[in-house]
Amino acid sequence: MAGGSQSAAITALFDYDSLDATQRSIIQQRTGEIRERLRRSAQDVWEIGQKLSDVRSRLKYGQFLTWLKVEFGWSQRTAYNFINVYETFGDRFANLAKVDIATSLLYQLASPSVPEDLREQVLRSAEQGQKITAKALRSKIKQRKQLKSAAVDEPQEPAGPEIITVIPQSVESIASVETDKATERFPAAAFADSSAPAPVAVPLATPAVPTIKPGWYQLDQQHLIYCGDTASAAFIERLPAAKLAIAVTANDWAHDWLIDQIDNIVVLPQAEFTTDKLKQLLLLLSNPRDSVVFPWLPQSDMLAVAHQLGRRVYGGDADIARCQRAISAAGLAAARIEAEVVAEVG
């Protein structure tokens, strides 16, 4: 049964005095039991996340996704709901398990997109007995985004990207796994996308494009490129609901911050990257007119390849020189746009 302080809080919200003694006793007991189950559910979520994180560290990236599908039928996003709770709260979960918090709110609170100060504010409120809903949290996040958008200033030269989660050094590119599967299922000719524009050669001559500065650029009125830190809120908060993200990087970064909005995330080591592999991934995991995310642009023809296949790119790079090369190689009209316009054209 709930303790005295809990009973007082419950009485303030529900008139138990209107019930007869027997009903009041039973209902208050059931209330306490339900609250205990809710706390247990939160603890279960944390413990599942802990075990998933352990399995993830022992398997290669492509193997982990296959294991999730075979054993549980889970998507990557479902698994990371649990993992985010474990990694976000860590040692603090002992205190978190003592408060009433719905699992739906717990998942959202653990999302990498939630600012740390807002997360702490919600946790303090929950510890004080206040009821916070997932809807209320979404409203707070939306208000913050609106305030940030209104206060957007000229972007500064970005620092290096913040690495959220490190993939073990033994990670093997999921691209190689998917490419092998694709080769078994389809002959080489099947990779031709009949609904996409006919491939054309990337122009050898560098088109006239503006000198690139930190900030947003729109290419051919359809692609959005951010020359700045793609691990920053300036990029993450404007992510569209994309079909695919392909992260080509020399760093072992799991890109957890993409999980909330991307259906499929492929981490491709830069040493293994080829233009043909990029084409195969785009054809296998997305369709013409789908939005795809490139958090890095290490090879200058990435935008050109995606454009030729009819995909819409939301991408960028903290290295301004790489941004300049990728935009130039695309051979498309490029125009600088303000940050607040991105959501309207994305």
Handedness of CA 340, 307, 284, 57 (dihedral sign): negative
- The answer to whether residue 158 sits within a structural domain is no
Please check whether residues 34 and 144 belong to one and the same domain.
yes
| Tokens, residue 65 | 């996704």
- CA–CA separation, 60 and 70 (whole Å): 15
Long-range pairs for 175-178: beta carbons < 8 A, 24 or more residues apart: 175/266, 175/268, 175/272, 175/277, 175/280, 175/281, 176/62, 176/272, 177/62, 177/66, 178/62, 178/266, 178/280, 178/281, 178/284, 178/285
Please check whether residues 146 and 179 belong to one and the same domain.
no
State which residues of the chain have pLDDT below 50.
1-12, 152-194, 196, 201-207, 252, 254
Name the DSSP class of 258. G
Please check whether residues 16 and 56 belong to one and the same domain.
yes
Boundary-marking domain end, from 150, 166, 198? 150
Residue 227 · residue 316 · CB < 8 Å = yes
Amino acid 167: pLDDT: 33
The amino acid that residue 6 corresponds to is Q
Amino acid 161: pLDDT: 34
Amino acid 7: pLDDT: 37
**Residue given tokens 């193997």 in the structure block:** 63
Which residues, at least 6 apart from 28, have a Cβ–Cβ distance to it below 8 Å?
A: 1, 2, 7, 10, 16
- The answer to whether residue 134 sits within a structural domain is yes
CATH classification at residue 299: 3.40.50
Transcribe 212-264 into DSSP letters. Answer: P-SEEEEETTTEEEEES-TTSHHHHTT---EEEEEEEESS-B--GGGTTTEEE
Cα dihedral 161, 164, 165, 170, rounded to 10, equals: 0
- The answer to whether residue 304 sits within a structural domain is yes
Residue 308 · residue 199 · CB < 8 Å = yes
Amino acid 258: pLDDT: 67
- CA–CA separation, 242 and 265 (whole Å): 10
Boundary-marking domain end, from 150, 183, 199? 150
| Tokens, residue 3 | 């303790």
- CA–CA separation, 241 and 321 (whole Å): 28
Range of the domain at 29: 4-150
Helix (H) or strand (E) holding 267: strand 262-269
Helix (H) or strand (E) holding 205: none
- The answer to whether residue 22 sits within a structural domain is yes
SS3 77: helix
Handedness of CA 60, 61, 66, 72 (dihedral sign): positive
Amino acid 11: pLDDT: 33
Amino acid 112: pLDDT: 77
Helix (H) or strand (E) holding 248: strand 242-249
- CA–CA separation, 124 and 104 (whole Å): 18
- The answer to whether residue 231 sits within a structural domain is yes
- The answer to whether residue 169 sits within a structural domain is no
Counting the structural domains of the chain, the total is: 2
Please check whether residues 39 and 99 belong to one and the same domain.
yes
